[in-house]
């Protein structure tokens, strides 16, 4: 389990302050909250891209090479689609199998574009490639930060089924940031809600729905 305890980080006027947030292993977690509530900052802290001012992040035995993340605007190496796809394997001294790379290219709808300069891909194509690049080395903890925001409905369906199949066969831990309730309801077992830098609530998607409805009613009942 990933345990985040008494975590604090100030970035200019923004203050992240999380008393306790726990991510159970091998589950699909949703991370939700308004723009600027601190979701991406939290991910940067967990993945080690940023250092906390205070507090602890216990990765439960995971090493940094077991963890990966994708973003809404993924960075593409100035190289071909193929080299971008196999990059995580190369840096881990693993040989990519032809079967595996072809499978991922097909699932991403990028078959035939292997030799295309990756930065010239459309934004949705780049997101799909970054998703495949994140999964090709079989990580144990994956953060998906609004990566499906520019994908068409068919591609979203493909990636939702990739996640569902991985969870059936050899489950890993996922943290999915999305502003689209359908993703959360289709995929997640547990949802964590951020508000203004704090962790407000954790529960099942159904409990989250009740929580949000109740808050909304309270806010409008004065």
Residues near ligand ATP (CB under 6 A): 11-12, 14, 33, 35-41
147/173 with CB nearer ligand ATP: 147
Cβ 137 to ligand ATP shortest distance, Å = 25
Cβ 97 to ligand ATP shortest distance, Å = 36
Among residues 18, 29, 2, 13, the alpha carbon closest in space to that of 52 is found at 18
108/193 with CB nearer ligand ATP: 193
Computed on alpha carbons and rounded to an integer, the radius of gyration of the chain in Å comes to 18
52/109 with CB nearer ligand ATP: 52
35/115 with CB nearer ligand ATP: 35
């Amino acid at each position: 389990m990933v345990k985040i305890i008494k975590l604090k980080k100030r970035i200019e006027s923004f203050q992240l302050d999380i008393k306790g947030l726990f991510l159970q292993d091998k589950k699909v977690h949703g991370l939700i909250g308004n723009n600027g509530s601190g979701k991406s900052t939290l991910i940067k802290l967990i993945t080690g891209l940023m250092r906390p001012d205070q507090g602890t992040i216990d990765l439960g035995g995971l090493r940094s090479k077991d963890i990966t993340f994708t973003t809404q605007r993924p960075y593409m190496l100035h190289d071909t689609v193929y080299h971008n796809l196999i990059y995580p394997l190369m840096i881990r001294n693993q040989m990519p199998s032809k079967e595996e790379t072809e499978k991922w290219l097909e699932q991403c709808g990028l078959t035939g574009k292997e030799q295309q300069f990756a930065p010239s891909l459309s934004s949705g194509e780049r997101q799909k490639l970054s998703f495949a690049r994140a999964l090709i080395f079989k990580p144990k903890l994956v953060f998906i930060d609004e990566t499906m925001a520019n994908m068409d409905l068919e591609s979203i369906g493909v990636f939702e089924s990739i996640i569902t199949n991985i969870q059936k066969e050899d489950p890993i831990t996922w943290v999915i940031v999305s502003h689209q309730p359908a993703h959360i309801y289709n995929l997640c077992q547990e949802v964590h809600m951020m508000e203004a830098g704090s962790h407000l609530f954790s529960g099942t998607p159904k409990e989250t729905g009740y929580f949000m409805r109740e808050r909304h009613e309270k806010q409008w009942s004065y």
